[in-house]
Amino acid sequence: MDSKQIIVIGGGAAGFFAAINLAEMHHGSEITILEKTNKLLSKVKVSGGGRCNVTHQCLDTSELIKNYPRGSKELKQVFARFSVKDTIEWFEKRGVKLKTERDGRMFPVSNSSETIIDCFMREIKKYNIKINLQEEVLSLQKTSQNKFNLKTTKQSYLAHAVICSIGGHNQIKNYNFIKEAGHAIEEPIPSLFTINIPNNNIKELMGLSVNSATVKVIGKKHQYTGAVLITHWGLSGPAVLKLSAFAAKDFFETDYNCDISVNWSGKLNDEEVKNALSENLNLKSFVINSPLFNFPKRLWDYFLAKAEIPSQKPWNELSKKQINKLSQILTCDIYKMKGKTTFKEEFVSCGGVNLKEIDFKTMQSKIIPNLYFCGEVIDIDGVTGGFNFQSAWSTAWIASQLLV
Ligand SMILES: Cc1cc2nc3c(=O)[nH]c(=O)nc-3n(C[C@H](O)[C@H](O)[C@H](O)COP(=O)(O)OP(=O)(O)OC[C@H]3O[C@@H](n4cnc5c(N)ncnc54)[C@H](O)[C@@H]3O)c2cc1C
């Protein structure tokens, strides 16, 4: 088993994590990382605004997997083998302490992604892992001796096993060599974006947010409740990002032209909101002075204007028709989405190697023995919050346990 040649394709989060754990397991194997650019761990560097949101403090696997629009079923068994707790311990064992923020996101205590990069580079040096930069893998073929012949932009390699961790891409051509080797690729489409609403005066309220609103693509099943932020281009915030990830295919099918409904009350229905409004109907004060559900006053004013209710009208003079209209706006406020905006440059693609073609007990290809996949190259993606790195660490760790 020793002195086997193992090639890791891609010098990103998953490739490094796989190579390091592989070196720990298989002393004596010759491990080489091939990276097409002249930079290593470039996404790790910029991740989490330069702080690297390494994982999310969610120790219950059944809760954790709810954060993955694609791949949650497969990740259940993956996280059972290498969990969030294992991630925390892995880094701590190598001198990197993580801290948890109020929303559950975990970062290095140093608040710098360089800490993660330095840790990886130390391990790479310790195990003598080779790294070849500016070598793009162009093809991957099995030889008659059951080895792999890899062709790159510079040379050819023979390998006993290959770990493919080329990340996610927005163009299918980047997966060509995997496709040509015999794997089906799910078409890459964007995930994690915010909603553009041109020509709508709600944008004048940019910066205002509501803690609990429900967003939905009209006519589709997905809906999410959470904070919604009004921006100068439309709508953003955790509920919108979650919707963009879980309904990525629905949005794609409409070419990002669809109707979005917002229930500003969170989860109340029309009847319940009408009842809440009715509780104020004996007040003599102006409607503007007592916003329902603690809405910011300017937003409340916007809802009143939309319902054609003068803000200086006393509550006890509102007609039934006005109450109905206001309730309808609060529970089913419709906006025309035209286009999307990438969230803080955090491009995450859905799509990649088809889930059915991978054995998630080993991360080995079911089609080509001794070929392993890990990280975003697989048709798995998570919402924002450290979930994408967690699936990269876990799938990479399992791939590193390979036996050749
Ligand atoms: C700006 C930004 C911020 C992010 N912040 C976070 C965060 O804080 N927390 C989080 O969980 N997730 C975050 N993400 C997502 C996270 O970075 C990815 O999920 C993660 O990097 C995936 O790791 P990977 O190793 O699979 O892919 P990558 O990190 O993309 O690495 C793949 C590598 O393979 C190389 N490669 C591609 N094709 C070839 C080829 N043919 N031959 C050789 N090399 C090749 C690429 O150049 C790249 O270096 C962020 C993403 C972005 C863009």
pLDDT tens-digit map of 109-166: 999 999 999 999 999 999 999 999 999 999 999 998 999 999 999 999 999 999 999 9
CB of 108 within 6 A of ligand 1: the answer is no
Cα-based distances in Å from 44 to 47, 51, 345, 377: 5, 9, 13, 16
Question: Scanning the structure block, which residue is given the tokens 């798995």?
Answer: 380
Distance CA 154, CA 241 (A): 40
Q: What is the pLDDT of residue 3?
A: 81
Distance 57 CA to ligand 1 centre (A): 21
CB of 392 within 6 A of ligand 1: the answer is yes
Tokens of 2: 């020793």
Distance 167 CA to ligand 1 centre (A): 5
Q: Kindly tell me if the per-residue pLDDT of 363 is higher than 90.
A: yes
CB of 71 within 6 A of ligand 1: the answer is no
Distance CA 393, CA 204 (A): 42
Q: What is the pLDDT of residue 402?
A: 82
Which has the closest alpha carbon to 274: 320, 314, 242?
320
Q: What is the pLDDT of residue 345?
A: 60
Q: Kindly tell me if the per-residue pLDDT of 85 is higher than 90.
A: yes
Q: What is the pLDDT of residue 346?
A: 58
Q: With beta carbons less than 8 A apart as the criterion, state whether 254 and 361 touch.
A: no
**Cβ neighbours for 279, distance < 8 A, ≥ 6 positions apart:** none
Distance CA 358, CA 338 (A): 37
281 - beta bridge partners? none
The predicted model gives 203-214 an average pLDDT of 96
Amino acid at 349: S
The predicted model gives 187-213 an average pLDDT of 94
Q: Kindly tell me if the per-residue pLDDT of 253 is higher than 80.
A: yes
Distance 316 CA to ligand 1 centre (A): 58
Distance 291 CA to ligand 1 centre (A): 45
Q: What is the pLDDT of residue 342?
A: 84
Band (pLDDT 50/70/90 cuts) for residue 344 is: low
Distance CA 339, CA 199 (A): 12
Q: What is the pLDDT of residue 26?
A: 83
- pLDDT per residue as tens digits for the range 101-110: 999 999 999 9
Q: What is the pLDDT of residue 1?
A: 45
Q: What is the pLDDT of residue 27?
A: 80
The predicted model gives 297-312 an average pLDDT of 97
Q: With beta carbons less than 8 A apart as the criterion, state whether 140 and 162 touch.
A: yes
How many C-beta atoms surround the C-beta of residue 204 within 10 A? 11
Q: What is the mean pLDDT of the chain?
A: 95
Tokens of 266: 């969170």
3-state secondary structure of 335: strand
Q: With beta carbons less than 8 A apart as the criterion, state whether 286 and 312 touch.
A: yes
Q: What is the pLDDT of residue 347?
A: 64
Q: What is the pLDDT of residue 11?
A: 98
- pLDDT per residue as tens digits for the range 271-295: 999 999 999 999 999 999 999 999 9
Best residue among 389, 391, 394, 398 to mutate for probing ligand 1's pocket (most ligand atoms within 8 Å of CB) is: 389
3-state secondary structure of 214: strand
CB of 43 within 6 A of ligand 1: the answer is yes
How many C-beta atoms surround the C-beta of residue 74 within 10 A? 21
Query: What domains, with CATH codes, occur in the chain?
Result: 5-189+348-400 (3.50.50.60), 193-342 (2.40.30.10)
Secondary structure element (H or E) that encloses residue 33, with its range = strand 30-34
Per-residue b or e along 348-377, where b marks 16 or more CB atoms closer than 10 Å to that residue's CB: bbbbbbebebbebeebbbeebebbbbbbbb
pTM above 0.85, yes or no: yes
The predicted model gives 213-219 an average pLDDT of 96
Amino acid at 361: K
Which has the closest alpha carbon to 58: 99, 105, 91, 113?
105
